[in-house]
Structure 1
Amino acid sequence: MSLPLFALNTVLFPGCMLDLQVFEVRYLDMLKRCFKAGHGFGVVCIREGSEVGEAAQSFASIGCEALIGDWQQQPNGLLGIRVEGGRRFEVVNSKVQDDQLIVADVRWLPAIDELPLEDRHADLAALLDALGQHPMVESLGLGGSVGGQDALANRLAYLLPFSPEQKLSLLATAMPGERLETIQALLKRLKDGEP
């Protein structure tokens, strides 16, 4: 499937919300086409380059579909949109159009079955609940209780201050239990002051 890409300095996860301000013509045109066709676009993390101006020179080969949930004109006159992370995908190949929009052929990664939370996940669930008290997290509706391991792993991976490479590794990991174990290990490293 061909998918337009929005290259950002962030990693979007399934079920997570992202607010964007759109002002570049390439992305405004992309959004018009997405609205008309009734589909979303892809979000990929920039490895080399900038979010604005010319297309990113290098970006991650794994990304997340962005489903447009809401839009409005911001007080500054820019278009504001809220997207929700959908399916994960792998970029097969890509090209940069004349308007600097990146379009890619993608392969959808398998859907992940939601597994119930176990007792050993109680600390991570409590951490998400605590994060949910922050006004920004609360405004995105990402705090509180979740339905299972996948949702918990996605929200924590999205919200916690891990490096882009660590977040991409978590996005690429299919098994929710494995992702939660990795998050535990990364949190221990953060607590110990390790990178």
Structure 2
Amino acid sequence: MAGTEPVERAMFPLESALLPGEELPLRIFEPRYAALVRRCLDDGEPFGVVLIARGREVGGGDARCDVGVLSRIAEHADLGAGRYALRCRTGERIRVREWLPDDPYPRATVTVWPDEPGEPVTAAQLVEIEDRVMALFERIAAVRDARLPEREELLGRVEGDAGQRLFALASRIPIGTADRYSVLSAPSAADRFAALDDAVDALADMVEFQLSE
């Protein structure tokens, strides 16, 4: 989906906030989402994934957030009777411009949402927040007398610009759904850094609380 022109997409609301560049396994059994899968397989289209603000994944009637990601089906298995097992991969961040009728599945008009201009995030800032995350992992490993994998295995290889690197880092640490959505919906890389910085602070406080018990 090139550029930022509005495009109608099939949508899959979930009870988790997905970030760009993540694996997304799905098991499909609802008829409406079986129809979504058939459309995407037939046309080679991605579908949008957004966080459910209120409600449940099954049955409809949910309230949905308006920032999400495009997801593409990488592998699929047709299990029969309208059931599928999917392995998907998330890509570009999107904004919902208008929700359309759920007929036969959730649909919306969306645009790709690249990072907006802002203050630069420096390499030193990225290293600093990665060091804090590693310190947390090391603290937990020491208490559990466990051996940690290498830094690159835990945090991933340093690839892409600062904004993409922050998405990748956020996807590898156990922050809550609200914090993940704050990282996803931050307009610029600098805003994303601030959101992730706050999330790491909250995670550090939670780890220390749990370890003190």
Letter in 2 for 1:27: Y
Do the aligned residues in 2 keep the contact of 1:125 with 1:145 (CA within 8 Å)? Answer: no
* Aligned counterparts of 1:184 and 1:63: Cα–Cα separation in 2: 21
CA displacement 1:139-194 (0-9 Å, x = unmatched): xxx85213142233112333433333332221122322431232122211222249
Among 109, 124, 132, which residue is 1:119 paired with? 124
- Equivalent in the alignment of 1:97: 102
Instruction: Report how far residue 59 of structure 1 moved.
Output: 0.5
Question: How many Å separate the matches in 1 of 2:92 and 2:47?
Answer: 11
Matched, 1:40 2:40: no
Q: Is the contact made by 2:12 and 2:47 (CA closer than 8 Å) also made in structure 1?
A: yes
Please give the alpha-carbon distance, in whole angstroms, between the structure 1 residues aligned to 2:116 and 2:88. Answer: 20
- Alignment partner for residue 144 of structure 1, among 156, 161, 164? 156
Match of 1:83 among 85, 88, 101: 88
**Residue of structure 2 in register with 1:28 after alignment:** 34
Are 1:110 and 2:114 matched, yes or no? Answer: yes
Matched with 1:19 is 25
1:121 is matched by which residue type in structure 2? L
Q: What is the CA deviation profile of residues 94-129 of structure 1, one whole-angstrom value per residue up to 9, with x for unaligned ones?
A: 133344x2111112213679x89613322444547x
Between the two proteins, the alignment pairs up a number of residues equal to 182
The percentage of aligned residue pairs carrying the same residue is 25
Q: Does the CA-based 8 Å contact 1:87-1:111 persist in structure 2?
A: no
> Structure 1 stretches (4+) deviating beyond 4 angstroms?
130-133
- The answer for unaligned runs of 5 or more in structure 2 is 1-6, 139-147
* TM norm structure 1: 0.77
Structure 1 residues 68 and 98: CA distance shift in structure 2, 3 A: closer
Higher mean C-alpha displacement, 155-164 vs 83-92: 155-164
Work out the CA distance in 2 between the residues paired with 1:149 and 1:189. 22
TM-score w.r.t. the length of structure 2 is 0.71
Bigger radius of gyration among the two: 2
Q: Which residue of 2 aligns with 1:191?
A: 204
- Three-state SS of the structure 1 residue aligned to 2:157 is coil
Which sits farther off after the overlay, 63-72 or 185-194? 185-194
Structure 1 gaps of 5+ residues are none
SS of 2:126 mapped into structure 1: helix
Matched, 1:171 2:200: no
Q: Distance in 2 between matches of 1:110 and 1:30?
A: 25
Using the alignment, how far apart are the partners of 1:173 and 1:188 within structure 2?
Answer: 17
Mark the CA change 1:81 to 1:20 in structure 2 (over 3 Å): closer, same or farther.
Answer: same
* Distance (Å, rounded) in 2 between the aligned partners of 1:61 and 1:116: 26
Deviations 1:29-74 (A, max 9, x none): 1111111111110001001111112x24210011111111122357
1:185/1:111 CA distance change after superposition, 3 Å: closer
Secondary structure of residue in 2 paired with 1:161: coil
- Give 2:112's aligned amino acid: W
Please identify, of 179-188 and 157-166, the stretch whose mean Cα deviation from structure 2 is larger: 157-166
